[in-house]
Amino acid sequence: MMDGESKVTDNYAWLASDLKKRSDWVYELENSERDEIDRAIEHCASAGKPYLEMLPSDFPLPSLAPKLRRISTMLEDDLGIFLIRGLPIESRKEDEARLVTWGIGLHMGVALPQSETGSMIHDVRDRGEISKRTLRGNGTTEAIQYHIDPCDVVALVCRRTAISGGESRVCSSLAIHNAILEQRPELIKLLYQPVSVSGFGAPGEEYASFPCAVFGWADTKFTSHFHHQRILKAAGFPNNHDLTPLQREAIDLVQKLACDPRFYVSMDFKPGDLQLINNHVIFHARTEYEDHENADKKRHLLRLWLSVSGSRPLPSGFFDLYGSIEGNKIRGRRGQQRWKEVGSIARYQSRLAAIHGLTEA
């Protein structure tokens, strides 16, 4: 187990200049693979199965599915970021784009609920929300600060783009770790200590929070958690300790480095793009955007939270975030959200877990 005193040079400790030199993290679907997805859509339409009864065989992708499994391995062992382009959804209806998102996810892992109502696919589009109130900026046109989502892998499918803006930005959390170790070594150990983080909480839990460090290691595997706004908000809760000046400086430095062009790569989404992120090693953000007035033309992404096979073990201090720290397990469904578990979803997840070789948390 690492202690933050040594620079680590794993593949996912990349700078923007490193990622721009590589092209193997972007894959354009072949025409035959696009046709395969089209056939899978028609297969599902004729079968008429509800989402929570569908298995990978119900969205057959004989050529593409093995590639998706290899990409999942690359997310864990290589850069932590992958972009698939060319999903055939731009000319399709919204429900068909949703089906493609779900079908791809079936071949990659076990989907997790993303709200207290058990929503399994989240619509990332402007709903007129106020991010300062919700701390979930995906329902606004505002910029979203660097953060991680509480799952192993987040999948974002682009259905519609904005008039302008809305760039996705990604950076290596390990590269930021290394930079702080080099620039301000006296701060690095503070980032291995838990701080209070504002959680989603259950209805009525205004001051819900959980403890988690920004950086940690388990069995030589690095992981990270960061959300600048949630950390600062939780520090002001009545029952929590305020950040010390040095802790605040350390948290602010993580945010400052993540916003430095040396560390992040921007990407303009196109309809049919699928962005895959390993949350344990990548921070992601979004720039503000100007949207269309026409409802069907408005910027629209479809998001899955996935628990995936071969996932890394996590430090003990990350238990409250994920609800489980063992690798290769379904985790994230009993974490900091504290949402009521829906029995039908849990039973369905167990069926998918058996197919993907995951065990129960």
pLDDT per position as a tens digit, 91-131: 999 999 999 999 999 999 999 998 878 889 999 999 877 65
Q: What is the pLDDT of residues 221-253, one digit of tens each?
A: 999 999 999 999 999 898 888 999 999 999 999
Asked whether residue 198 carries a pLDDT value surpassing 60, the answer given is yes
Mean pLDDT of the 68-72 span: 95
Best mean pLDDT range from 132-136, 296-300, 336-340: 296-300
pLDDT classification of 344: cutoffs 50, 70, 90? confident
Question: Considering all CA atoms of the chain, what is the largest pairwise distance in Å, rounded to the nearest integer?
Answer: 61
Asked whether residue 340 carries a pLDDT value surpassing 80, the answer given is no
Mean pLDDT of the 138-163 span: 94
pLDDT classification of 22: cutoffs 50, 70, 90? very high
Domain residue ranges in the chain:
16-356
**Average pLDDT, rounded, for the chain:** 91
305 residue type, one letter: W
Give one DSSP letter per residue of 153-214, joined into a string: EEEEEEEE--SEE--EEEEEHHHHHHHHHHH-HHHHGGGGS-EEEE---STT-TT-EEEE-S
What is residue 139's predicted lDDT score, i.e. its pLDDT? 86
Burial 180-199 (b: 16+ CB within 10 A, else e): bbeeeeebbebbbebbbbbb
**What SS3 state is found at 221?**
strand
Interatomic CA distance for residues 145 and 128, integer angstroms: 18
Interatomic CA distance for residues 198 and 236, integer angstroms: 10
What is residue 1's predicted lDDT score, i.e. its pLDDT? 42
- Percent pLDDT > 70 in the chain is 92
What is the CATH number that goes with domain 16-356? 3.60.130.10
Best mean pLDDT range from 27-31, 43-47, 357-361: 27-31
Q: What is the pLDDT of residues 279-293, one digit of tens each?
A: 999 999 999 999 999
Mean pLDDT of the 346-358 span: 94
**What SS3 state is found at 294?**
coil
